[in-house]
């Protein structure tokens, strides 16, 4: 095999609690993470040496800072493989939205490269490598949904009753994660007490007050998603993407169609997926 294709799924945080802060400044959290079928498409091709990442233009992401580039480079270094890989990424998950597109691309690039080059690397080594790239990356290597704790790296399977579908609203502007956490600290919001995984999602996000301080229009967008059929609404990650949860795809589609003429934001219906990536035919 000289080429392969893989889909890198987005994620939603179905509620997010900040439960504390480590001495190094990282915030501790608890959240239910679920993969959804909104996805970037990656195509990997073997080459004689080196790593090349070609990404949808106009996103302003330097190649050396692309997590997929870092992932493939780190994997080849650890495996001691002299072969190279070109990764072409067709982006559908916008950066700065809390949908985890960069982390998902990195996880898919890791799995895809290991498969393409038939690398001998253990699951533990892959997980350690994923965590070194970012706290969200390990989630995309495993099953969904998952209960995440710590800085997001401590993952556990959770028997959560998931909605059937979501309307995902992606504003034209992203939210800088570091800025959202900085404002969260400035607001001196009390930490949430740690809890066990809930049987059903609780969509409250402790970062939302900080997000609307940085991006006030988010409150208007979230209000738009209020629907009598919705099971709940929320913000994923540190924003800016918002969502409404529904029992069925039909209900979500009806909501989306009703909103099309009312907002400049991008709208899509997304359904839960069992994992963070999927090999394409």
Annotated catalytic residues are 11, 136
Distance CA 131, CA 205 (A): 23
Distance CA 226, CA 248 (A): 16
Hey, is 264 helix, strand or coil?
Answer: coil
| CB distance 144 to 275 below 8 Å | yes
| CB distance 259 to 220 below 8 Å | no
Q: Which residues contact 93 (CB under 8 A, 6 or more apart)?
A: 8, 10, 38, 39, 40, 99, 100, 101, 104
Distance CA 110, CA 70 (A): 10
CA-based R_g, the chain, Å: 19
| CB distance 6 to 42 below 8 Å | yes
In terms of phi and psi (left: phi > 0; alpha: psi -120 to 50; beta: otherwise), the region of 150 is: left
> Cis bond leading into 127, ω under 30°?
no
| Look-up of token digits 């080196």 | 50
Q: Which residues contact 188 (CB under 8 A, 6 or more apart)?
A: none
CA quadruple 236, 272, 93, 69: dihedral, nearest 10: 100
What residues are paired with 268 via a beta bridge? 168
């Amino acid at each position: 095999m000289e080429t392969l294709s893989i889909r890198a799924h987005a994620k939603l945080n179905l509620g997010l609690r900040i439960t504390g802060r480590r001495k190094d400044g990282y915030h501790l959290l608890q959240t239910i993470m679920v993969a959804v079928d909104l996805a970037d498409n990656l195509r990997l091709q073997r080459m004689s040496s080196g790593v090349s990442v070609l990404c949808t233009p106009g996103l302003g992401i330097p190649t050396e800072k692309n997590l997929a580039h870092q992932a493939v480079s780190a994997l080849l270094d650890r495996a001691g493989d002299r072969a190279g890989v070109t990764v072409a990424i067709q982006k559908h998950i916008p950066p700065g939205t809390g949908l985890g597109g960069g982390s998902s691309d990195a996880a898919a690039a890791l799995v895809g490269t290991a498969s393409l080059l038939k690398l001998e690397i253990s699951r533990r080594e892959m997980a350690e490598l994923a965590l070194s790239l970012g706290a969200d990356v390990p989630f995309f290597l495993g099953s969904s949904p998952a209960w995440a704790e710590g800085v997001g790296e401590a993952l556990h399977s959770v028997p959560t009753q998931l909605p059937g579908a979501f309307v995902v609203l992606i504003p034209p502007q992203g939210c800088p994660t570091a800025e959202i956490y900085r404002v969260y600290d400035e607001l001196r919001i009390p930490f949430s007490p740690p809890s066990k995984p809930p049987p059903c999602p609780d969509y409250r996000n402790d970062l939302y007050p900080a997000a609307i301080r940085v991006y006030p229009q988010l409150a208007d967008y979230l209000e738009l998603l209020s629907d009598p059929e919705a099971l709940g609404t929320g913000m994923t990650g540190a924003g800016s993407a918002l969502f409404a949860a529904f029992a069925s795809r039909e209900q979500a589609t009806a909501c989306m169609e009703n909103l099309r003429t009312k907002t400049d934001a991008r709208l899509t219906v997304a359904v839960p997926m069992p994992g963070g990536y999927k090999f394409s035919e």
